[in-house]
Amino acid sequence: MGARRLRLTARGTALLTLGGAALVAGVLLGVTSLVQVGLLLVLTVASSVGLLHLQARDQARGALHLTRRVTPHPVTEGDPATVEVALTRDRTGRTAPRLDRLEIAERAARELSGGGPLRARVSRERHALRLTYAISPTVRGRWGVGPVQLHRADPFGVARWSGPLGEPALVAVRPRTTPLSITSSAMSSDADRVVLGARSPSPDDTALRDYRAGDDLRRVHWPTSARRGELVVRQDERSGRRPASVLLDLPADADAGEWSIRLAASVAVALVGSGHHVRLLGGDVLDAARDHHRPDATGAAVAALLDQTVDLTMPVDAAERTAWLRTAVDTLQADAGGSELVLALVGELDDETLGALARTGETTHGWAMVRTAETAEPLATAAAERTAQSLSRAGWAVCLVRVGEDLAACWERLLGSDDRAVMSR
């Protein structure tokens, strides 16, 4: 936040210097008129400074009211949005300035402007002032705007006050998603109902999850609870669609990470659109994703999933990346009840993590896209090939994807992998 500052203008400095000189000369020479002129100039400067000080004090006491609105909000990266700042005056403030004489400015993060200048439009009235400017965010995340910077001058132009008003705000920028279709012949075959979009073969059409305080004991699934040694409850799926988890393995590289987030978000949105209850697992915001989001007509499930991606960050090193992924895999293993779909986007994995992920196929129905570097030649490195082959042997439908390629192409390649993996189990 900028500092408050009260300073004399060049005119004010000149008047104060001239007034002081006239006052001293008048006293020394005994010229009354010269003393009067000097006093007048000094008092003019002093009264102007005093007025600005009182106005600043009134502002601190709430004489000016600030509201800021971003439309639409949250914003999608690459889409334009409008920021409107409205400043109104409490008319009971005796020294509050006329707002049509104020100068106003606001800064925004470079990520909201694409690195270019922001052009604002200001509309002024005596008791209201509005600042409007367009933003076009280019990077997912939360980016700052504000605080508003005010500049005011006294009526004589001898002093200026500058300072902030209000608090800065954060604009949430969601990742851009690509429409993906899950209506594919590979996903509607009668040879095996364990496919995306298919009805659950479970007779009670439920998934299982860990018991939580407050759950109805009538929903406890006793056979599974006895086998695991801990309580699990049925999680009803009224739509008949399998619950689905999108597992995201975030790399340390920022470009690869942003591409991965866009792909995972696109998959999650597509699954919600087809009627699945979906959650997104991975990264450092796992606590927000323990439960599945239920699709509804208002789009709340899609909004919740996209909002979760806003705060995702990249791991600082390989150890943190592995820890995040293992936490997500552990959640899958703890909550899976035998009918959940898992769609994983992972990179090259070490043996321990790969083994843990592969074992989730025992209680879930897994689909995986194995990520390779953008410059990988051929398509996959040996480590990525090993990861893909291990998951495929464990019963997953697997395909290789390259960082930066078209998201729809990655998705279609995964659907095509069904004939080689899921349908052969």
Rounded to an integer, what distance in angstroms lies between the CA atom of residue 219 and that of residue 235? 8
Find out whether 408 and 415 touch, Cβ atoms under 8 Å. Answer: no
Rounded to an integer, what distance in angstroms lies between the CA atom of residue 96 and that of residue 81? 32
pTM for the model: 0.76
- Both tokens of residue 153? 């001058």
- Both tokens of residue 54? 């009182």
Q: Specify the pLDDT at position 191.
A: 31
φ/ψ (deg, to 5) at 195: -140, 160
Residue partners of 108: CB distance under 8 A and separation at least 6: 83, 118, 133, 135, 143, 144, 145, 146, 171
pLDDT tens sequence for the chain (425 residues): 456 788 899 998 999 999 999 989 989 888 889 999 999 999 999 988 888 888 777 776 667 888 999 999 999 999 999 999 998 876 654 545 567 677 888 889 999 987 778 888 988 877 788 999 999 999 999 999 989 888 888 888 899 888 888 889 999 999 999 999 875 433 333 333 344 444 444 434 446 777 776 666 777 878 888 888 888 777 654 445 678 999 999 999 999 999 999 999 999 999 998 888 899 998 887 655 567 777 776 788 999 999 999 999 999 999 999 999 999 988 887 765 556 889 999 999 989 999 999 988 766 788 999 998 755 455 557 888 889 999 999 989 999 999 999 999 999 999 887 543 332 22
Q: Specify the pLDDT at position 421.
A: 37
- Both tokens of residue 322? 């592995």
Q: Specify the pLDDT at position 293.
A: 79
CA angle 399/362/341 to nearest 5° reads 55
Q: Specify the pLDDT at position 337.
A: 52
Q: Specify the pLDDT at position 377.
A: 53
Domains in the chain: ranges and CATH: 1-174 (2.60.40.10), 185-200+237-424 (3.40.50.410)
Rounded to an integer, what distance in angstroms lies between the CA atom of residue 359 and that of residue 336? 12
Best CA proximity match to 381, nearest among 409, 406, 400, 399: 400
**Residue at token pair 């500058």:** 162
Rounded to an integer, what distance in angstroms lies between the CA atom of residue 405 and that of residue 383? 20
Rounded to an integer, what distance in angstroms lies between the CA atom of residue 136 and that of residue 354? 40
Burial class (CB in 10 A: 0-12, 13-18, 19+), 25: middle
**Dihedral sign, Cα of residue 348, residue 413, residue 329, residue 312:** positive
Q: Specify the pLDDT at position 114.
A: 76
CA atoms within 13 A on the CB side of 132: 8
